[in-house]
C-alpha cells in the first residue's frame, strides 16, 4: 500500500491502532509504519497507536487520545476539575482513572496520567460530544470524589482551602444528592473527609 492510499483510508480516524489497521488492511506489513514514521507521514503516539502527522492536536484530539490509548478509562481528577471550572490552575497533563494499573505516558501529543481505582467505583462518568469525537469524562461530582479518594493526605480545612475550589461553580454545578449517592460506593473514611471538604467550600 502506498502512503497516499493509507492517508486516504485513515484520514477519518484521528488515532488508530495496529489492530485497526489490520482489520481494514489484512495484508498490511507492520514494517511500513516504521518507515512512514521515519519519513514524517505518521506520528507514533505510544506502542501500537498512531495518528497521521498532519492531524490537528487540539483539545478534542487530546481528550479522545486519553480515552483511546489506555482503556477502560475516563478523564477525571485535576483535568476534569479544571474542565468544569472548579479549580483555577491550568492543568497541562491529562489525568484519568482506570481499572488497570497506575501508569503515565509521555507522548508527542501530550502527557497522560492514569490512576488505578477499583472496578466497584469505576462509574460516574458521561459520554460527551467534543466536535466529532465522543469522550468519557467524569461527572463533576465524581471528579471530586475520585480526587479526594486518590489523595488521602487531604484531611483538614487548610488542606481543602489549598485546593482553591471555585465556590460559585461548586454551588451551581454540584448535585449534592448525586454526590451522596456516588459516595455510598466508597469507604466511610472518605465520607468523613468529604463532609469536611463540603463545609470548607460552602462556608469559606
Q: Give the number of C-alpha atoms closer than 13 A to the C-alpha of residue 150, restricted to the C-beta side.
A: 21
Query: Quick check: pTM over 0.85?
Result: yes
Please report which helix (H) or strand (E) contains residue 5, including its range.
helix 3-10
Name beta bridge partners: 113. Answer: 95, 104
Q: Which residue has the cell 466536535?
A: 131
What are the tens digits of pLDDT across the range 80-133?
999 999 999 999 999 999 999 999 999 999 999 999 999 999 999 999 998 888
Domain ranges of the chain: 3-52, 59-203
Q: Which residue has the cell 449534592?
A: 176
Name beta bridge partners: 98. Answer: 73, 116
Burial of 70 (0-12, 13-18, 19+ CB in 10 A): buried
Amino acid at each position: 500500500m502506498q502512503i497516499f492510499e493509507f492517508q486516504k483510508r485513515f484520514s477519518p480516524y484521528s488515532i488508530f491502532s495496529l489492530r485497526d489497521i489490520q482489520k481494514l488492511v489484512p495484508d498490511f506489513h507492520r514494517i511500513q509504519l516504521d518507515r512512514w514514521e521515519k519519513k514524517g507521514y505518521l506520528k507514533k503516539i505510544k506502542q501500537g497507536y498512531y495518528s497521521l502527522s498532519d492531524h490537528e492536536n487540539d483539545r478534542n484530539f487530546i481528550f479522545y487520545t486519553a480515552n483511546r490509548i489506555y482503556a477502560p478509562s475516563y478523564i477525571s481528577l485535576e483535568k476534569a476539575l479544571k474542565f468544569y471550572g472548579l479549580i483555577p490552575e491550568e492543568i497541562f497533563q491529562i489525568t484519568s482513572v482506570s481499572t488497570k494499573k497506575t501508569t503515565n505516558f509521555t507522548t508527542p501529543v501530550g502527557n497522560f496520567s492514569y490512576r488505578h481505582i477499583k472496578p466497584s467505583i469505576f462509574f460516574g462518568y458521561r459520554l460527551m460530544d467534543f466536535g466529532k469525537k465522543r469522550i468519557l469524562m467524569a461527572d463533576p461530582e465524581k471528579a471530586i470524589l475520585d480526587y479526594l479518594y486518590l489523595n488521602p493526605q487531604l484531611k483538614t480545612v487548610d488542606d481543602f482551602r489549598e485546593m482553591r475550589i471555585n465556590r460559585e461553580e461548586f454551588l451551581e454545578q454540584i448535585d449534592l444528592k448525586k454526590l451522596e449517592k456516588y459516595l455510598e460506593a466508597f469507604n466511610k473514611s472518605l465520607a468523613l473527609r468529604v463532609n469536611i471538604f463540603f463545609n470548607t467550600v460552602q462556608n469559606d
